[in-house]
Structure 1
Amino acid sequence: MKSLSISEARKLVLLSQGLSPKQLKGHALSKTLSVFCRLGYVQIDTISVVQRAHHHTLWSRNQDYRLGHLDQLVADRKVFEYWSHAASYLLMDDYRFTLPRKLAIKSGVENHWYRKDPKLMANVLSRIEIDGPLMAKDFESQRTNKNGWASKPTKQALEMLYMQGDLMISERRNFHKVYDLTERVLPKGIDASVPTQQEHGRFLVFRYLKANGFGTLAEMTYLLKGVKAQVKCVLEQLLESGEIEKIIISDDEYFTCSESLFLLNTRLTRKHARILSPFDNMLIQRNRTSTIFNFDYQLECYVPAPKRKFGYFCLPILWDGKLVARADCKVNKPASKLELMHLYVEPSLKERDAFLAALAQELQAFTKFNQCGEYSIQKVSYDFY
């Protein structure tokens, strides 16, 4: 069984994730699509302290990325919205692999957040069939919760129809979902056959390994419902056939494949800094980030203010093949300024001047990406543990 050093493991992750800066081929939009082909999905998030996570994750891998690219790829039916481990944009070519979950929800095998109202769902579906694509605000209904926080029954019906596959998101308008019949959104010729358990398991294994280099069963099935047993079975079959193999990293066993290991022959560009989204694909599994990168990270916007250690929306920073800093920052729109309220540099970082020079270059690009004219760093800490 092969062993990888922790440095080799980090290199493999970064190369698999497309976070080693290199020139992508094609025009700007095709580069964005190529990022999707590498990652498989990009998580959607509503927080807009800086550019939203789905834009940020794509920009981190393609600095020719433009905010209109996602809308264009949705309009071109190259990507679509559904769930990975969370709400995400997915490759349209992978559409059929969302069907097992949709059918499980539709049949009642898998529960969703909302209770089904078959009559209301039928009425909503009929309305869209007749009137065309609609948003939640196009339906009249009262909230069922007197405190005002529960979503409207028609919104719940729309989401149930979306999650079970009768509706898809045809576009977003000012970030609001526009729902349409699935058959009107799917492009012609798309494979809409339901995969077998083995096909689905193989897809989950190889999609994960391509995007991440190596992984465990738990990592491959992270927050995915009802698939662990079938993925475990497929892993055993793939090991027996030699399509994947086991490796050792810091005494822990992982699965990988020759295609991933071949990346180790590629040079890793180390001297460029990268400011990452808290919802970046590389970071979303915090235990993995801690194990491989020795970087304990928590998004503290969900933590009460008095208990925050690093701030409301602290962004991890990658440099020299490692996670070496984090910055609590926000966009000050009236001033057109990107404000870094506090930059925390890991005490273990030795080449501070070289890092700060690389960060300054990245901050210039990040400022422009956030549609700001300038940035400021208000405070820097090197010893904060």
Structure 2
Amino acid sequence: MTDPHRLTPQEARRIAVRAQLFDAARPVDLLDTVRRLTVIQYEPTAAVAPSADLVLWSRLGRLYRPEQLERALDEHVVVELRSMIRAAHDVALYRAEMAAWPGADAHGWEQRRGDWLRSNDACRRDILERLRHGGPMLSRDLPDTCVNPWQSSGWNDTRNVPMMLELMECAGEVAVAGRLGRERQWDLAARVYPDDPAVPEADAVRERDARRLRSLGIARARGQETPVEPVGVGEAGEAAVIEGVRGVWRVDPAQLDRGFEGRVAILSPFDRLIFDRKRMVDLFGFDYQLGIYKPAAQRRFGFYALPILDGDRLVGKIDATTDLPSSLLRINRIHEDEPFSPALRDGVRAELEGLAEMLRVQLELG
């Protein structure tokens, strides 16, 4: 067995930052950026801007405008699959899993969801027929003909049709064709996804792990269970250990022994660089809390704090809000984990000016 690669914390951070396209050489193409990141989470909270726009802007910079992503989604160059934006041709890596959903070995929650879908098969067939003749359609435009209501702790009660559509999406029968505001428009999957042949499931899982590792640079083989997109990468890449950090990691060998030139960047709270909070702490030692799930009195850094990246370190947070009626990007406070140098302050100011330009508003510093 080959000995694991031995990395310093700085080397590990630089691998992660470079893999996520945060080094000085910015990408220039939206589709290539989505492919290299693998997934971009759709998150409807837009206290500053929709998360997907923040993710793409933080990489592409002044080249990016939100209508570019809107156009790519409208043309199905990229697609939304289970609230994750992906390159359309990557759907081939999920087709076999969709065809078998919920799977012969499904158990617990997933099995109950499959049983519920089958118990309402007449509603499922009615939705397919209506979409065939009238799609794309919003969930509220589709009648609820379920004979077995969806039951939950309360959040999804009375939401039979939205739940039905989400499960039909898991089965590859319907797809998000676009959005009207925040509401998803649904259509037959065959009209949205490319007609690529399915990759056999075992091969697809290995390829997805490999792509995830390429996008993260360094990650654990297994991680905390998360909905939709795992944070672990299985046996992809090669083993590595990080000085001062417990356990064995998996590293993309293509990221080893490469130079690094960093830059200042402002991140979405849902950016994949920090989405896995345990990995964030292990690699960056970053103290962060997202405030949208907290009562106002318990928010440490604001409602929607934007992390600040400086080279290979996460160094602060920005409490900001966008006031569209007043055409202002308001910076309520900048939290400095350590006192910022004049050069870093200038870099943060330049990024905030670029963000305001992308949003087509004026910057207001508090």
TM bucket by the smaller chain? 0.7 to 0.9
Selected match of 1:275 from 266, 281, 305 = 266
1:62 aligned counterpart, secondary structure: helix
Tell me which of the two structures has the higher relative contact order, counting C-alpha pairs closer than 8 angstroms and 6 or more residues apart: 2
- C-alpha distance in 2 between matches for 1:283 and 1:331: 22
Q: Does 1:172 align with 2:176?
A: no
Task: Quote the offset at 1:68 in angstroms.
Answer: 1.5
Ranges in structure 1 where 5+ consecutive residues have no aligned partner: 26-30, 239-243, 379-385
Once the two structures are overlaid, the 10-residue window that deviates more, 304-313 or 54-63, is: 304-313
2:282 aligned counterpart, secondary structure: helix
The 1:227/1:176 distance shift into structure 2, 3 A limit, reads closer
Task: Quote the offset at 1:99 in angstroms.
Answer: 2.9
Other-structure match for 1:353: 342
Is the contact between residue 105 and residue 111 of structure 1 (CA under 8 Å) also seen in structure 2? no
The CA deviation string for residues 115-140 of structure 1, in whole angstroms up to 9 with x for no partner, is 42211111111111122321113224
Is the contact between residue 231 and residue 276 of structure 2 (CA under 8 Å) also seen in structure 1? no
Selected match of 2:55 from 54, 57, 72 = 57
Once the two structures are overlaid, the 10-residue window that deviates more, 324-333 or 156-165, is: 156-165
Output the amino acid matched with 1:159.
E
1:280 aligned counterpart, secondary structure: coil
Selected match of 2:297 from 296, 301, 306 = 306
Selected match of 2:218 from 203, 214, 218 = 214
Task: Quote the offset at 1:163 in angstroms.
Answer: 2.3
Other-structure match for 1:135: 138
Task: Quote the offset at 1:205 in angstroms.
Answer: 2.4
Other-structure match for 1:249: 242
- C-alpha distance in 1 between matches for 2:286 and 2:229: 30
The 1:160/1:12 distance shift into structure 2, 3 A limit, reads same
Task: Quote the offset at 1:141 in angstroms.
Answer: 4.5
Output the amino acid matched with 2:167.
M
Is the contact between residue 306 and residue 318 of structure 2 (CA under 8 Å) also seen in structure 1? yes
The 1:315/1:23 distance shift into structure 2, 3 A limit, reads closer
Ranges in structure 2 where 5+ consecutive residues have no aligned partner: none
Selected match of 2:42 from 38, 41, 44 = 44
- C-alpha distance in 2 between matches for 1:215 and 1:129: 42
Residue correspondences, number? 348
Task: Quote the offset at 1:43 in angstroms.
Answer: 0.3
- C-alpha distance in 2 between matches for 1:18 and 1:148: 37
- C-alpha distance in 1 between matches for 2:132 and 2:46: 33
Task: Quote the offset at 1:201 in angstroms.
Answer: 3.2
- C-alpha distance in 2 between matches for 1:16 and 1:228: 15
% identity of equivalent residues: 23
Matches within 5 A, 1:91-106: 91-106=87-102
Q: Does 1:122 align with 2:111?
A: no
1:172 aligned counterpart, secondary structure: strand
Is the contact between residue 208 and residue 215 of structure 1 (CA under 8 Å) also seen in structure 2? no
Is the contact between residue 327 and residue 344 of structure 1 (CA under 8 Å) also seen in structure 2? yes
Other-structure match for 2:259: 266
Q: Does 1:155 align with 2:162?
A: yes
The 1:151/1:159 distance shift into structure 2, 3 A limit, reads farther
The CA deviation string for residues 290-315 of structure 1, in whole angstroms up to 9 with x for no partner, is 11011022212101222222221111
The CA deviation string for residues 306-359 of structure 1, in whole angstroms up to 9 with x for no partner, is 222222111111113211010111012222111121211003x4x522211111
- C-alpha distance in 2 between matches for 1:89 and 1:266: 30
Task: Quote the offset at 1:178 in angstroms.
Answer: 1.4
Is the contact between residue 363 and residue 375 of structure 1 (CA under 8 Å) also seen in structure 2? no
Other-structure match for 1:383: none
Other-structure match for 1:186: 193
1:328 aligned counterpart, secondary structure: strand
Instruction: Please give the root-mean-square deviation of Cα atoms over the aligned residues, in Å.
Output: 2.8
Give the TM-score, by structure 2 length. 0.86
Q: Moved runs in structure 1, 4+ residues, more than 6 A?
A: 142-145, 225-229
Is the contact between residue 128 and residue 181 of structure 1 (CA under 8 Å) also seen in structure 2? yes
Task: Quote the offset at 1:283 in angstroms.
Answer: 0.8
Output the amino acid matched with 2:283.
I
Is the contact between residue 264 and residue 310 of structure 2 (CA under 8 Å) also seen in structure 1? yes
Matches within 5 A, 1:364-375: 364-375=353-364
